[in-house]
């Protein structure tokens, strides 16, 4: 477990620190997307708010995690799949937000349908955010 996390950091030329190990392990353990507040709450050791922000930003820059746009306007983070590389994210899956428990899921298996935009618009990325009730809350 810890080995996997260390490998990820090394692959991305990041030095190994308690903070990064801890946060990355949280993502590994969680099937859900996490907010900054979640991470602050779930961390065993206490890390400074600023450190957590900077770590999340670093992970996003490296393509280790990605952000998810949410309707309630809080930033959620989730692990990227192997296809993600620095700068270019391929998180072409659907995100599901449960209105009951507030959990955000990455539905990795469900690919994003093609969306037709006017032909004078150029598409870079498409996000699909589904709101509803998850399997645990119904």
| Contact residues for DNA, defined by CB under 7 A | 14-20, 35-37, 46-51, 53-55, 57-58, 73-75
Q: Could you tell me which residues are beta bridge partners of residue 88?
A: 85
Q: Using CB distances below 5 to 8 A depending on partner kind, what does residue 94 bind out of DNA, a second copy, none?
A: a second copy
Counting contacts by CB under 8 A, is residue 48 touching a second copy? no
Distance in angstroms (rounded) separating the CA atoms of residues 17 and 108: 29
Counting contacts by CB under 8 A, is residue 116 touching a second copy? yes
Coil, strand or helix: which one is 35? strand
- Choices 40-48, 55-63, 77-85, 126-134; region in contact with a second copy by CB under 8 A: 126-134
Closest CA to 82 of 13, 18, 4, 25: 4
């Amino acid at each position: 477990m810890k080995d996997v996390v260390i490998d990820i950091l090394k692959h991305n030329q990041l030095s190994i620190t308690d903070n990064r190990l801890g946060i990355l392990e949280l993502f590994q353990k969680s099937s859900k997307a996490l907010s900054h507040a979640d991470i602050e709450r779930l961390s065993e050791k206490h890390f400074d708010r600023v450190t957590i922000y900077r770590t999340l930003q670093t992970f996003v820059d490296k393509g280790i995690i990605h952000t998810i746009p949410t309707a309630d306007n809080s930033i959620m983070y989730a692990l990227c799949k192997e296809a993600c590389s620095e700068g270019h994210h391929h998180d072409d899956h659907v995100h599901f937000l449960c209105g009951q428990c507030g959990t955000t899921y990455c539905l990795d298996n469900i690919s994003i349908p093609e969306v037709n935009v006017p032909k004078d618009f150029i598409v870079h990325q498409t996000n699909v955010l589904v709101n509803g009730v998850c399997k645990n809350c119904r």
